[in-house]
Amino acid sequence: MVTDDTDHAWGIKSRVQSASFPGETSGWPIGRSAEVTAARGNYILELNGQPALQVMREMWKLMEREHRALPIQIGMSEDGSESDYLARNIRFDPLGQAVLASSSSKPPLRLVFGMPLLQVACDEVQTGTRVQLLVRDPAWGRQALEADLQGYLQGLPSGISPEQGTLGGLLYSCVESQQQEHRILTSAFPALPWQGCMVQGEFGPLGKSGSPAAMHSFSSSLGFLRQSTLPATS
């Protein structure tokens, strides 16, 4: 459990011989990405050399009308990739008065930038980071989850059913997902036991297989517990 900026570690000891984490689903990317050209703490001042709020407004104008009423996030890619984004909540500060948190022994530092700001939750933003506007579209999330499941099934050995050698599934989903992921998974794997919970922040893969896990926002992280030695097939 993560409650503050302190580093923690936790784990599970079991007799499971292998685990497969086929994917993580978050928001639907909208419009073009932009590069952070000025930032301070978790505040973005400029994107592509222009005021951040101005660029975000231009991105918002590119959205379909039905998407403008949906919750908006920002996706961040520190390595400059335009395919793997880490979703974060955002807040607009039109007055440009930022409050930067400090240690418990010192009061917060109030800075007046004199320009509109874009505040990013949880992360300190670095210049050079690419950002992408994301929309929390339930239909897109459903399609992404179904694509992850299809990729997992295609990776199974020939002649092996989804339940064969699979001990159970793990699903950690956002508290605002309305359990649509659970309904999809129990329909696809009716005989498979599932464990997990609904949380505010989900750990899951980011990018290519084998990359370090990251904490996502408003997403779903899916995993399967499997035996390394699969039962023989007739």
Write down the domain spans for the chain: 18-26+138-226, 28-135
Q: What's the pLDDT at 12?
A: 57
For residue 224, give the nearest of 169, 173, 183, 185 by alpha carbon. 169
Q: What's the pLDDT at 88?
A: 79
CA–CA separation, 159 and 232 (whole Å) = 10
Q: What average pLDDT does the segment 127-146 reach?
A: 78
Residue with tokens 């959205």: 63
Q: What are phi and psi of 143, to 5 degrees?
A: -65, -40
CA–CA separation, 97 and 115 (whole Å) = 8
Q: What's the pLDDT at 199?
A: 72
Q: What average pLDDT does the segment 196-213 reach?
A: 64
Contact 130, 76 (CB under 8 A): yes
Contact 216, 146 (CB under 8 A): no
Q: What's the pLDDT at 99?
A: 42
Q: What average pLDDT does the segment 137-160 reach?
A: 72
Helix (H) or strand (E) holding 103: none
Is the pTM higher than 0.75? The answer reads no
**What DSSP character marks residue 201?**
S
Torsion, CA 66, CA 42, CA 126, CA 202, rounded to 10? -60
The two tokens of residue 125 are 């933003």
Give the max Cα distance, the chain.
72
Q: What average pLDDT does the segment 72-91 reach?
A: 72
Cα–chain-centroid distance for residue 233? 38
Q: What's the pLDDT at 63?
A: 76
Helix (H) or strand (E) holding 72: strand 72-77
Residue type, 54: Q
Q: Which CATH number fits domain 18-26+138-226: 1.20.140, 1.10.357, 3.40.50, 3.30.1330?
A: 3.30.1330
Q: What's the pLDDT at 111?
A: 46
Q: What average pLDDT does the segment 30-41 reach?
A: 84
Q: What's the pLDDT at 152?
A: 72
Q: What's the pLDDT at 195?
A: 82
For residue 167, give the nearest of 10, 13, 12, 14 by alpha carbon. 14
